[in-house]
Amino acid sequence: MSELPPCPECACEYVYEDGPLLICPECAHEWAAADSAAKVYRDANGNELQDGDMVTLIKDLKVKGTSKTVKVGTKVRINRLVDEDHDIDCKIDGIGAMKLKTEFVKKA
C-alpha cells in the first residue's frame, strides 16, 4: 500500500518513487521525497538534536525586532525542531519565544 503523497502539481495519485525523487506519471512533475524520512537536526559540532534537548549558544544572537541580544553561553531548551530556516523553536528566559538556527548552538 503506497503512502506516497499526490502530485503537488496536478493532484494525481499514481505517483511513483525513483531513487530520491517522486515522479508523477500524469504531468511528469518530479520532486524530492523530502518527508519520507524524518529530518535529522545537528548542532554546530554535528551532534544530533532532539525535541527537549538543552543546548548552549555558541555566539551572541540579536533578537529580531528588538535591541536585545542573547549571549553566547545561554542555555536554551529546545521546545520543538521545525523544518525551517530557523529550525529550533524555543523559549528563552527574559526574551520569550524565539527561533534559532541549529548551526549556532551546541548540545549542552
Stretch 23-42: interaction string toward Zn ion, x if CB under 5 A? -x-xx-x-------------
Of 1-9, 38-46, 63-71, 87-95, the segment contacting Zn ion by CB under 5 A is: 1-9
Give the shortest CB-9-to-Zn ion separation in angstroms: 4
Q: How far is CA 77 from the centre of its chain?
A: 16
Contact indicator for 104, 76 with CB cutoff of 8 Å: no
Residue from 60, 43, 61, 54 nearest 90 by CA: 54
Residues β-bridged to residue 101: none
Give the shortest CB-30-to-Zn ion separation in angstroms: 10
Give the shortest CB-55-to-Zn ion separation in angstroms: 40
**Percent helix, strand and coil across the chain, each to the nearest 5:** 5, 40, 55
- Applying CB under 5 A, the residues found at the interface with Zn ion are 7, 9-10, 12, 24, 26-27, 29
